[in-house]
Structures are given as structure tokens and as C-alpha cells.
Amino acid sequence: MYDHPYQWGSKRTGPDLARIGGKYPDSWHFNHMLEPTSMAPGSIMPPYPWLFEKSIDYGSTNSKIYAMRKMGVPYEEGYEAIANEDLKAQANQIVESLKKEKITIGADKQIIALIAYLQRVGKDIKAAPKEEQLSQK
């Protein structure tokens, strides 16, 4: 909902991901990004092995929050000060959920950030009508 620019572009090869958040467990995304055919036999989606090796760049979080807010994402004032704390808490939750599926990976790997992102896609927009209904009462 708050992507600036919208990440998925105008030309799509795979399925629509607009409601992907919550559709699959974290481990499904982990395995699918590492080897798409392991989760979807016959898939032509390429694997993304570097996401499992490269680390998240925590140093740019501040400036990203600032830029996104400028473009209309409703981050609260001062959120940049606690954003990385929030990021790490969320990353640890994903690492724990993966552990339950016998998958071991560091919380700082880029795949963790991508799973967090994918699990959020479509969630904010689902919550929006409820808030509108509440404010009309």
C-alpha cells in the first residue's frame, strides 16, 4: 500500500502478489526464494541465493524512513530513532518461526527482510476499511 514507487512494476510474469501477506508460512517463502521449484514444481521464477548470504544495511534505515514519510507513508514522528530496534524484533520473530521448521539463518540476512515485506503486502489495505467504519460512528 505504501510502496513508492510501487515495487512490482507494470509488467508481471508471476502471479499478483497484492494479497501475498499471510498466504504462506515464513518457511514457504524461505524455500521458494532459495529454490522456487521446491515449492512450485515447474516454476520459471529464478532463485535468489544472494539474499541468504548478504546482510541487511541497518545504516540506511533512518534515511529510508525519512524519504518514505516525505512521500506520504504515515511513520510517526521520531520513528526513525526506534526503527532498527523494531526491525530486529521483527527479524527475530521470523528467525524463530523458521527454527520451528528446522531452518537456521541469521536475523541479519536480507531474506529475512524480504519475508517480513512479503508477509505485510496487502495487510495494511485490508485493515483500512475497518478504521474508516470506526471513524464514521
Q: In this complex, which beta carbon is closest to ligand HEM, that of residue 62 or of residue 114?
A: 114
Task: Please state, in angstroms and rounded to a whole number, the distance separating the CA atoms of residues 67 and 64.
Answer: 5
Cell of 119: 508477509
- Show the binding pattern over residues 85-124: x = contacts ligand HEM (CB under 6 A), - = does not: ---------------------------------x------
Shortest distance, CB of residue 4 to ligand HEM, whole angstroms? 17
Shortest distance, CB of residue 131 to ligand HEM, whole angstroms? 26
Q: Is 13 in the site for ligand HEM (CB under 6 A)?
A: yes
Of positions 43, 62, 93, 110, contacts ligand HEM by CB under 6 A: 43
Cell of 55: 546482510
Of positions 1, 34, 40, 68, contacts ligand HEM by CB under 6 A: 40
Shortest distance, CB of residue 23 to ligand HEM, whole angstroms? 6
Residue 20: which of 130, 90, 117 has the closest Cα?
A: 117
- Cβ-contact 25, 118 below 8 angstroms: no
Stretch touching ligand HEM by CB under 6 A, among 39-47, 61-69, 70-78, 103-111: 39-47
